[in-house]
């Protein structure tokens, strides 16, 4: 009997799986990773030489019932500088790190980046439009790091429910995968496959990996409570709500929110904007970042989107501050090779708007077809805004990509019904490892209006550009640089009346330095044209030839210091090269310890002949503007789960009036005797924030906020700077607890 039992046990071991269960502890156990796909061919992608990486790097990929498991061994001996800097979540720090980027459908539409620093800090991003990275999204995934004398090891486990994905076939799934590691002290990046995100194609060039398919489900509720003490208006208030997440499988995922908490613990950077172009802000609100990639519909013009989620809960139609949101629901999924997304949100009150969006995307081999429809109902304004867009991407070869879209809008409003059209097409040709070309054409009709739910910097435009890129690597060993990417662009834009609004020639040199830092020079030269937006629909101003030279430099930590610098020199719209304006900002960071740092940034801008519209007709004020700014703070990363951040930003503006002018129908200017006041602005944002991660996506925040904005006729910038520190439009303390319950 005993012999038969021993024999049966031995046979049982032989038919057991080829690997043990992976334990995410940062120690790569060969037994756990037996049977995994093993990758050793990591090559230089920064600089993009395609040569084997200077340091050995290995990765293991394994599909498990609990998720996609990836292990990375980064060899880094004593002769290679190591970074020991502690980082907070989503901090864009130039330190030793690894990235695991996954396209779960393998179709090049939406990807996810899971980044782990050598000291255990993490970041996660959504990748859309080939190479647009957004830090706004935070996911729940496991990671661990261990360090030794020869380097460090990283283990990652990404649950299968983390993102929508198509149904598997024959028990297997094909994903797109890219893995790299970066040496912070030199900036060298070694990746698999040999691609880089500053090419026209990145996401769609991931290696396709076929793996055993598993399915996971998740039901999670994240209730929150916020208690606030308002020291301006007095009193104490409490708010509560919840986010609900149900993912029965990879093909269907539902997100809902009730009385959502939208942003009390976040702070936008200060902006003073008198231009006709709206300031764009990203969105960190959890409901709007979860599974949001499907709704990406870019018009390929800067931040343009058909769904700009900051509209929901934005300025109320009745002018009484920000709107409150009662509920919002989002459904994502797929049927066969068709992906879909449905989003709806309802604001509170008689002035509350109703938002809706429907997205469909179909992949057909080398082509992808998509549709996005949005609708916004404004009961207070008796306005309905409908937008419909179709997009298409074609990749006839590995070197050539064409992306196009067509969009139309229809606005129903008493006495003001309008409809408009727009279209964009961009072609990218990666000729070889050195040269690439890009062609872009855009048409936005005068009546195209997507801004009820979307974001478009301007309509009424026909734009064309041709760009040539040249990559230089293999620079001399004594050079301060490892590579340069040169970009040469010719562009022109007319409004729909045929009037030239821009003629530009641009040269950019984007460089990687041997100290691990980055540097960019950009020269834009403009020929004479017309500014048809300055007077908000009035006469267009004829602008003379001018130019702008911009510089941007980031140096990572060396010793105890890191710093960033940026600035520009520019002409102006009134006198061109006569009376140049300039801006500079310098932000040094001093590391008292690896976890505790202090930064103090200061900026100054001189803006001569600054033209500001006065709110009616064609009247402009001509100002000499000075702006002084402070951007400073303290970062104390007590551990990978808790942080203390102090952030102080202030902007002070003093604009002395030089002249008052009217723009004539021919684009010229004449002096006006109409009274115009000088201008001054004081702006303050101050926050002390403590965050403790109770569990993944469960946090305790203790926050103090203070700030304000005032403008008046005091044009002395020093007076405005001093006054800014006394602003108390907001003066509050709050405690927020959000805890994720999984079932």
What pLDDT was estimated at residue 9?
38
Output the CA–CA distances (angstroms, integers) from residue 601 to 228, 598, 634, in the order listed: 30, 10, 12
- Judge whether 170 lies within some domain: yes
Q: How far apart are the C-alpha atoms of 369 and 69, rounded to whole Å? A: 32
What pLDDT was estimated at residue 548?
98
Helix (H), strand (E) at residue 13: helix 2-14
pLDDT for residue 3 is more than 70: no
- Judge whether 87 lies within some domain: yes
What pLDDT was estimated at residue 263?
58
pTM equals 0.92
SS3 readout for 352-398:
CCEEEEEEEEEEECCEEEEEEEEEEEECCCCEEEEEEEEEEEEEEEC
Would you say the C-alpha torsion 712, 716, 719, 720 has a positive or negative sign? positive
- Name 14's Cβ contacts closer than 8 Å, sequence gap at least 6: none
Helix (H), strand (E) at residue 600: strand 596-613
Could you count the other beta carbons within 10 Å of the beta carbon of residue 218? Answer: 17
Q: How far apart are the C-alpha atoms of 578 and 580, rounded to whole Å? A: 6
Q: Kindly state the greatest CA–CA separation across the chain.
A: 112
Q: Which two tokens stand for residue 53?
A: 């990486």
What pLDDT was estimated at residue 87?
94
Residue 313 and residue 325 in contact, taking contact as beta carbons nearer than 8 Å:
yes
Share of the chain above pLDDT 90, in %: 88
- DSSP β-bridge partners for residue 461: 444
Q: Counting beta carbons within 10 angstroms of the beta carbon of residue 611, is it exposed (0 to 12), middle (13 to 18) or buried (19 or more)? A: buried
- Judge whether 528 lies within some domain: no
What pLDDT was estimated at residue 730?
93
Cis peptide bond N-terminal to 237, omega within 30: no
- The phi and psi torsions of 388 (rounded to 5 degrees) equal -135, 130
Find the CATH number of the domain harbouring 18.
Answer: 2.60.40.1190
Instruction: Give start and end residues of each alpha helix (H) in 583-706.
Output: none
Domains contained in the chain, number: 1
Q: How far apart are the C-alpha atoms of 204 and 393, rounded to whole Å? A: 11
Kindly indicate the confidence band of residue 354, based on its pLDDT and cuts at 50, 70 and 90: very high
Residue 26 and residue 146 in contact, taking contact as beta carbons nearer than 8 Å:
yes
SS3 readout for 460-490:
CEEEEEEEEEEEECCCCCCCCEEEEEEEEEE
What pLDDT was estimated at residue 260?
78
Half-sphere exposure of 79 (CA within 13 A, CB side): 2
What pLDDT was estimated at residue 261?
65
> Span 45-73, mean pLDDT?
96
Kindly indicate the confidence band of residue 265, based on its pLDDT and cuts at 50, 70 and 90: confident
Q: How far apart are the C-alpha atoms of 248 and 254, rounded to whole Å? A: 9
Residue 565 and residue 586 in contact, taking contact as beta carbons nearer than 8 Å:
yes
- Which residue matches tokens 């040169």? 486
Q: How far apart are the C-alpha atoms of 168 and 69, rounded to whole Å? A: 18
Whole domain around residue 145: which residue ranges? 2-212
Residue 137 Cα to chain centre, angstroms = 9
- Name 341's Cβ contacts closer than 8 Å, sequence gap at least 6: 291, 294, 295, 330, 331, 332, 357, 358, 359
Helix (H), strand (E) at residue 10: helix 2-14
| Exposure class string for 475-514: b at 16+ Cβ within 10 A, else e | beeeeebbbbbebebebbbbbeeeebbbbbebebbbbbbb
- Name 655's Cβ contacts closer than 8 Å, sequence gap at least 6: 607, 610, 612, 623, 624, 625, 626, 678, 679, 680, 715
> Span 351-355, mean pLDDT?
96
Cis peptide bond N-terminal to 29, omega within 30: no
Beta strand residue intervals within 213-337, DSSP E: 218-230, 236-249, 252-258, 325-335
Residue 389 and residue 405 in contact, taking contact as beta carbons nearer than 8 Å:
yes
> Span 672-687, mean pLDDT?
96
Interval 556-570: pLDDT, tens:
999 999 999 999 999
What pLDDT was estimated at residue 6?
37
pLDDT for residue 665 is more than 90: yes
The rounded mean pLDDT for the chain is: 93
| pLDDT, greater one: 603 or 129 | 603
pLDDT for residue 18 is more than 80: no
What pLDDT was estimated at residue 264?
63
- Judge whether 173 lies within some domain: yes
Q: How far apart are the C-alpha atoms of 586 and 568, rounded to whole Å? A: 12
Q: Which two tokens stand for residue 139?
A: 């996911």
Q: Which two tokens stand for residue 580?
A: 């140049």
- Judge whether 247 lies within some domain: no
SS3 readout for 189-232:
EEEECCCCCCCCCCHHHCEEEEEECCCCCEEEEEEEEEEEEECC
Interval 99-155: pLDDT, tens:
999 999 999 999 999 999 999 999 999 999 999 999 899 999 999 999 999 999 999
pLDDT for residue 653 is more than 70: yes
- Judge whether 154 lies within some domain: yes
Q: Which two tokens stand for residue 593?
A: 């310890």
Query: What 3-state class would DSSP assign to 9?
Result: helix
Q: How far apart are the C-alpha atoms of 69 and 60, rounded to whole Å? A: 8
Q: How far apart are the C-alpha atoms of 315 and 321, rounded to whole Å? A: 6
Q: How far apart are the C-alpha atoms of 679 and 729, rounded to whole Å? A: 20
How many residues are there in the chain?
743
> Span 518-524, mean pLDDT?
98
Q: How far apart are the C-alpha atoms of 22 and 63, rounded to whole Å? A: 10
Residue 71 and residue 60 in contact, taking contact as beta carbons nearer than 8 Å:
yes
User: Nearest-CA neighbor of 489 among 511, 472, 469?
Assistant: 469
Output the CA–CA distances (angstroms, integers) from residue 563 to 117, 241, 414, 521, in the order listed: 20, 41, 55, 17
Q: Which two tokens stand for residue 287?
A: 């409901």
- Judge whether 105 lies within some domain: yes
> Span 18-44, mean pLDDT?
91
The DSSP code sequence of 138-204 is ----EEEEEEETTEEEEEEEE-GGGS--PPPBTTEEEEEEEEEEE-TTT--EEEESS--TTSS-SGG
- DSSP β-bridge partners for residue 315: 322
User: Nearest-CA neighbor of 553 among 585, 584, 519, 587?
Assistant: 519
Interval 277-304: pLDDT, tens:
999 998 888 899 988 999 999 998 788 9
- Judge whether 368 lies within some domain: no
- Name 578's Cβ contacts closer than 8 Å, sequence gap at least 6: 571
User: Nearest-CA neighbor of 193 among 173, 174, 177?
Assistant: 177
Q: How far apart are the C-alpha atoms of 227 and 701, rounded to whole Å? A: 11
Q: How far apart are the C-alpha atoms of 416 and 436, rounded to whole Å? A: 46
What pLDDT was estimated at residue 76?
96
Kindly indicate the confidence band of residue 321, based on its pLDDT and cuts at 50, 70 and 90: confident
Kindly indicate the confidence band of residue 337, based on its pLDDT and cuts at 50, 70 and 90: confident
């Amino acid at each position: 009997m005993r012999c038969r039992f021993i024999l049966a046990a031995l046979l049982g071991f032989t038919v057991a799986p080829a690997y043990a269960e992976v334990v995410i502890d940062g120690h790569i156990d060969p037994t756990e990773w037996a049977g995994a796909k093993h990758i050793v061919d990591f090559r230089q992608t920064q600089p993009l030489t395609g040569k084997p990486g200077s340091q050995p790097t290995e990765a293991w990929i394994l599909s498990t019932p609990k998720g996609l498991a990836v292990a990375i061994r980064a060899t880094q001996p004593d002769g290679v500088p190591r970074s020991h800097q502690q980082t907070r979540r989503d901090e864009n720090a130039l330190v030793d790190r690894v990235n695991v980027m996954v396209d779960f459908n393998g179709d090049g539409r939406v990807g996810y980046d899971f980044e782990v620093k050598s000291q255990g800090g993490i970041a996660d991003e959504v990748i859309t439009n080939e190479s647009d990275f957004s830090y706004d999204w935070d996911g729940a995934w496991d990671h661990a790091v261990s360090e030794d004398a020869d380097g460090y090891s990283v283990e990652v486990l990404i649950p299968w429910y983390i993102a929508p994905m198509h149904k598997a076939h024959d028990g297997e799934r094909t994903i797109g995968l890219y893995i790299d590691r970066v040496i912070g002290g030199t900036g060298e990046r070694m990746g698999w496959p040999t691609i880089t995100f500053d090419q026209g194609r990145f996401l769609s060039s991931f290696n396709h990996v076929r793996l055993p398919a598993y399915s996971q489900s998740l039901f999670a509720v994240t209730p929150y409570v916020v208690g606030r003490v308002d020291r301006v208006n007095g009193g104490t208030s409490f708010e509560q709500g919840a986010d609900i997440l149900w993912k029965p499988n990879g093909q269907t995922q539902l997100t809902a929110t009730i009385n959502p908490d939208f942003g009390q613990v976040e702070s936008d950077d200060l902006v003073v904007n008198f231009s006709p172009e709206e300031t764009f802000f990203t969105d960190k609100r959890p409901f709007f970042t979860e599974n949001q990639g499907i709704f990406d519909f870019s018009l390929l013009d800067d931040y343009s989107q058909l769904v700009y989620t900051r509209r929901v809960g934005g300025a109320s139609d009745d002018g009484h501050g920000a709107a409150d949101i009662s509920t919002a629901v989002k459904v994502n999924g797929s049927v066969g090779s068709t992906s879909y997304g449905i989003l709806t949100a309802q604001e509170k009150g008689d002035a509350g708007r109703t938002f809706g969006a429907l997205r469909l995307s179909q992949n057909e081999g080398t082509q992808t077809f998509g549709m996005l429809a949005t609708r916004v109902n404004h009961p207070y304004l008796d306005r309905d805004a409908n937008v419909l867009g179709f997009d298409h991407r074609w990749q006839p070869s590995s070197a050539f990509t064409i992306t196009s879209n067509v969009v139309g809008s229809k606005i129903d409003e008493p006495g003001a019904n309008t409809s408009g059209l727009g279209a964009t097409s961009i072609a990218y040709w990666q000729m070889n490892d050195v040269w690439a070309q890009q062609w872009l054409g855009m048409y936005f009709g005068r009546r195209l209006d997507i801004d009820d739910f979307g974001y478009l910097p301007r309509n009424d435009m026909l734009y064309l550009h041709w760009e040539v890129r040249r990559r230089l690597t293999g620079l001399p060993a004594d050079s301060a640089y490892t590579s340069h990417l040169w970009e040469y662009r010719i562009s022109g834009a007319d409004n729909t009346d045929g009037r030239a609004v821009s003629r530009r020639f641009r040269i950019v040199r984007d460089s990687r330095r041997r100290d691990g830092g980055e540097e960019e020079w950009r020269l834009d030269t403009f020929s004479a044209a017309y500014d048809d937006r300055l007077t908000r629909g009035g006469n267009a101003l004829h602008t003379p030839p001018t130019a702008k030279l911009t510089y941007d430099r980031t140096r990572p930590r060396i010793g105890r210091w890191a710093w960033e610098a940026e600035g520009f020199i520019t002409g102006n719209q009134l006198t061109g090269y006569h009376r140049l304006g300039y801006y500079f900002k310098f932000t040094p960071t001093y590391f008292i310890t690896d976890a505790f740092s202090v930064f103090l940034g200061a900026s100054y801008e001189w803006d001569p002949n600054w033209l500001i519209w006065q709110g009616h007709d064609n009247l402009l004020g001509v100002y000499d503007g000075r702006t002084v700014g402070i951007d400073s703070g303290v970062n104390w990363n007590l551990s990978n789960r808790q942080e203390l951040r102090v952030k102080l930003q202030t902007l002070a503006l003093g604009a002395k009036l030089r002249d008052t002018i009217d723009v004539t129908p021919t684009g010229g200017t004449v002096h006006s005797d109409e009274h115009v006041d000088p201008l001054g602005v004081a702006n303050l944002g101050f926050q002390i924030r403590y965050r403790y991660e109770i569990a993944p996506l469960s946090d305790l925040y203790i926050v103090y906020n203070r700030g304000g904005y005032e403008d008046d006729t005091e044009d002395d910038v020093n007076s405005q700077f001093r006054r800014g520190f006394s602003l108390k439009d907001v003066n509050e303390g709050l405690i927020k607890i959000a805890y994720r319950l999984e079932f």
